[in-house]
Structure 1
């Protein structure tokens, strides 16, 4: 058992695809750009809002228009995210069990820190997580290990005593860069074959609970 479990947010704890896709498409529609179905948007997620918008745009779009889409997406998502974001079935019960044990729990997300804390506070009971950290000014995105190491420091654990749990290759890279163990979940935004570098790959919350 690890002394700390550090969870990614989108695609791991919460299904936010509908909310992200809705806000992205409304931002694109504002500028008469092609829209995308949820299956396509699923493949755009994982590297922050700017990369999300960049992947959604046709080739050759100017940097100025890209920035307008990023701003429009962020404004819309800030207003509407709650309409398309829910905890995956079984996750609240798993967290409840883990919070009663000896291990400490944390969230580490590439989402802006304000969104990250707002989502966690709305969806999960108070005091479920000891640390919640999203992207903020001066903090590099995952897979840079700085955020993961900051979380370990705040939890009072060494990286080798922590396990990062996520749904993307970025989470695998973050764990490796930080010297942590990694568990990959397949219900999120990256397909199973992309996650085979993790110590464990799990296909259900029940399977994850058995490991933890």
Structure 2
């Protein structure tokens, strides 16, 4: 029985890709770089913001260009009223169910912590996450297990009773690095042909399937 569920954020709890496409393409356009399609962005996500921008820039990627686009992107996001991002269907219901069954809940993501908390406060304020570990430089980001280990130390739950729920190869590697089980969801952004990995405990297509783990 799993007693602690740790969730990835983008592509697992929340559908954030349309916001990313809209705002990042504005930043790219302002600096004269080619804009990308939704499908191209799905291949670029999974890392922290620097890694995503590097993937998006492609042959134009350099430390200087990454910082330039990131600064503009974060300025755009700060002034942007996000009406696109929502929790995936049935996410609030499964989180409520797990919480009501005394399951501890947490988040570990490569999104900045303040951004995660803003969406949680807006859409999931009835859910009591024991910890939210986002990208906080200079702390390492996923697939480093730093964030998961911080949550594990706070929870004091044995690793065999913990599961990490994500949607990408990065999430699988993060769980491996922390020594905990991994469940992959199919409603996210990953190319699932890349997820043929014996380490994955379970692949699910609906949130309610998480009930089977408790």
For the aligned pair, the TM-score class normalised by the smaller chain equals over 0.9
Unaligned runs of 5+ in 1: none
Partner of residue 117, structure 2: 117
Tell me the SS of whatever aligns to 1:172: helix
CA RMSD of aligned residues (A): 1.6
8 Å CA contact 1:149, 1:159 repeated in 2: no
Distance 1:43 1:210 in 2: 30
Q: Which residue of structure 2 lines up, in the alignment, with residue 96 of structure 1?
A: 96
Map of 2:183 onto structure 1 = 183
| Paired residue secondary structure (2:83) | helix
Distance in 2 between the 1:207 and 1:43 partners? 26
Q: How far 1:190 sits from its partner (Å)?
A: 0.8
Asked whether the 8 Å contact 1:183–1:202 carries over to 2, the reply is: yes
Aligned equivalents of 2:58 and 2:133: distance in 1? 32
Say if 2:169 is the partner of 1:147.
no
Deviation of 1:81 (Å): 6.5
Q: So what's the TM-score if we normalise by structure 1?
A: 0.93
CA contact (8 A) 1:19 1:80 kept: no
Name 1:201's counterpart in structure 2.
203
Which structure 2 residues correspond to residues 19-168 of structure 1 after superposition, within 5 A?
A: 19-80=19-80, 82-168=82-168
Flag structure 2 segments of 5+ consecutive residues without an equivalent: none
CA contact (8 A) 2:48 2:142 kept: no
Structure 1 stretch 191-200 or stretch 202-211: which is displaced more?
202-211
Aligned partners of 1:8 and 1:165 also within 8 Å: yes
